Chains A and B, each alone.
Chain A
Amino acid sequence: MGILRKVACAAFAAAASILPAKAQQLTVWHDLGDNGIKWFEALSAEFAKQKPGVTIRSQSFPTDQWFGRVISALNTDTAPDLIFNNYERVIRIQQQTNKVMDLKALTGTVPDKGFLSEDDMRVATFKGRQIIIPIQRVQMAFGVRKSWLDKNGGKFPDTWEEVKALATAFRDKDPDGNGQADTFGMALQAAKPRDLIHMLDLFTFGSGLRHTLIDPEGKITIDQPGHAEVLEEFLKTYSSYRFVAPDTINHSFAEMYQVIEGGRGGMFRVGDWNVRKWDGAQVLNGDFVSGPWPKFAPNRPNAVVIGGMRGIAVPENSPNKALAQEFAAFMLSKPAQQASLENIGAGVRKDLDISKLSPRQQYFAKAEHRLVAYDFPESIHAFYPELEAAFHRKLLSGIARPPADWKAFIAETAKEMRDLAAKLRG
């Protein structure tokens, strides 16, 4: 009997030694759609080179669903191994669950991370916890339809006055040559709080200012010198200047993209993730050029805006926490970042091969222009979304029924925001 047991044990040990190690799978939830799924497939193949038998399975959800699923999964201990999204969305997940892991120690162990700036790390940190590892900087430039620009002198607008002149020409001079007055100077959006304030953010930060509505100390900035001028011109763009489609007040992202991709808007926001699609023959066919946002004052340098940071986060109740952290750190490696650049159009490393990218993609990859990052008020002031919603409501009331005196309107708005901020701060 003893001999039989020894033989059985030996046979089991021999079989175990020749069988491959047990396959392990990490699950990532994101909202990047098909491009994101392809990117994680590429990452899975790269990661398997250093971790044989490990595969990465990614699932993409529409952003709203992503929120709900992640919050409920983290709260019910059915979390995925990793979550990937914009920093401000991960902040909300942390606020709702308190179950996003602090990645400070993990990031400290990554030897090759000199490309991460102080701004990057500030964005990744919420209430002293590093909730994401920054993976993709989200760059947003000012875009002009090239064929229309060529018909109007060909010079990329640098100052707000040049933008206004060009917008008037795009609106009035039939730049698409179809004989109809159906074109607009700009394609913007306004319907939801984030829509309108996001547009204002771009003009504000792009013109070299540091805060759109509130500074880190909690002071309302909209009526300060420089800020008030940008805000007034921005509001006139939607109203008296008639640079945008008349229905823009109800436009969100989908409608704004219809104006851009439908060939009706001359100037617009170009995100680094837009370029791949807009280079396509069926969309804009590369008929656009990107540059920094316009200057509002000659002494303030203009810039391309870093409007966000996408990053990877690990839930405290991740089923494979150690391996998940290993993968999160791997996402900063050169092969992983190269895959990010090729599939999503963004990364954080500066030593990537960009030769395969189109000139318009290279504009972002090289980051040759001055970059200015958002101030990310939601990571400092917990009440910011509520304040922003009230600010949006007030600005929309002005756009819907333009006041005779915008300066008085801005002063009144600033007072209302100060009162509300004080109340919300409690």
Chain B
Amino acid sequence: MVPVQWYVWLGLALFMVGVFGFLTRRSIIMMFLSIEIMLNAVNLLFVAFAHFLNDLRGHMMVIFIITVAAAEAAMGLAILVSVVRNRLSAHVDEIKQMKG
């Protein structure tokens, strides 16, 4: 049997991969992809803890996270589409019209 510690480490490492991608990539689409990776890391931890605690609350959380992730992806990508239409750039560091 694999101890719960291993799942925690895997989830943390995956989450940090997502953090790294989110903070460093210029392309907005890659940033959204990093967010999805982070959400998956959190889901993995919820499922692992639910398994080791014999509880279903973790599974419920995963269902709601997936729902919210779908909503978030739809909204985020819609924002991206309208930004690219108006500014012709899909890179975060080129969108600085609000800067004084």
Chains A and B belong together in one complex = no
Residues of B within 8 A of A (CB): none
